[in-house]
Amino acid sequence: MIRSDKPYKNRCLLYNQGLMPYSDAHEWQRSLLNQRIHDPRLEDVLILLEHPPVYTLGQGANSNFLKFEITNSQHDVRRVERGGEVTYHCPGQLVGYPILNLQRYHKDLHWYLRQLEEVLIRVLAIYGLQGERITGFTGVWLQGHKVAAIGIKVSRWITMHGFSLNVCPDMTGFERIIPCGISDKPVGSLAKWIPGLTCQEVRLVVAQSFAEVFAVELVES
């Protein structure tokens, strides 16, 4: 059980998963979302996991940001309903999928995006690193490198998709895309600043920061 240092308002179920295929996690999220649309009283959820290598494009994302042909590629590519452009997931990147009913918090999507950024900025601060926002963009940067991406979908104020934090991934997969459609800002991983850091270690820090920012009691499920 992880509690916020502030009085918590809601319980949130924490699912700490290992390596999960993107398609399985996507279907799981959609199921959780639909359950909560039909019964808004159900508790919120935070899923933390890693994915095998996969490229995802947000709804309406520009395929020109891929540096390979989708039809003639061996890469796993998925177009999904989140916002944002193309991104890359792989082992060593910690992915978080909050399924939250924003009616319990604040019915404002910009507020929600800034809260997710705040979670990740606090994670970096715990390791003595200064994460930053860049005006006009969504995500978190560290010394000019984007280390965390965010893309969400909200239906009837229930959220899905979420954030990814590059902890110690093989970064070569990012070379095949223009990450998030941003060509003039490089991506990076925390391992560049903290060699030996692992997703397993960072999970608890992310969970604690999430509990603090959203003032929830996280209950491992």
Local structure of residue 204 (DSSP, 8 states): H
Domains held by the chain: number: 1
178 dihedral zone (left: phi>0; alpha: psi -120 to 50; beta) = beta
- Sorting pLDDT into bands at 50, 70 and 90, what band is 5? low
Distance between CA atoms of residues 50 and 20, nearest Å: 6
Structure tokens at 198: 């692992």
Q: Which residues pair with 160 in a beta bridge?
A: 153
pLDDT at 42 over 80: yes
Catalytic one among 90, 168, 180, 199?
180
**160-210: pLDDT as tens digits:** 999 999 999 999 999 888 877 777 779 999 999 999 999 999 999 999 999
CATH number, residue 174: 3.30.930.10
Residue 203: domain span: 2-220
**111-122: pLDDT as tens digits:** 999 999 999 999
pTM comes to 0.94
Distance between CA atoms of residues 70 and 185, nearest Å: 24
- Comparing 72 with 12, which gets the higher pLDDT? 12
- Sorting pLDDT into bands at 50, 70 and 90, what band is 50? very high
pLDDT of residue 156: 97
Determine whether 12 is an active site residue.
Answer: no
Distance between CA atoms of residues 150 and 178, nearest Å: 15
9 within 8 A of 104, measured Cβ to Cβ: yes
Beta strand extents in the chain (DSSP E only): 2-3, 10-19, 44-50, 54-57, 77-79, 86-89, 93-99, 140-142, 145-155, 158-166, 216-220
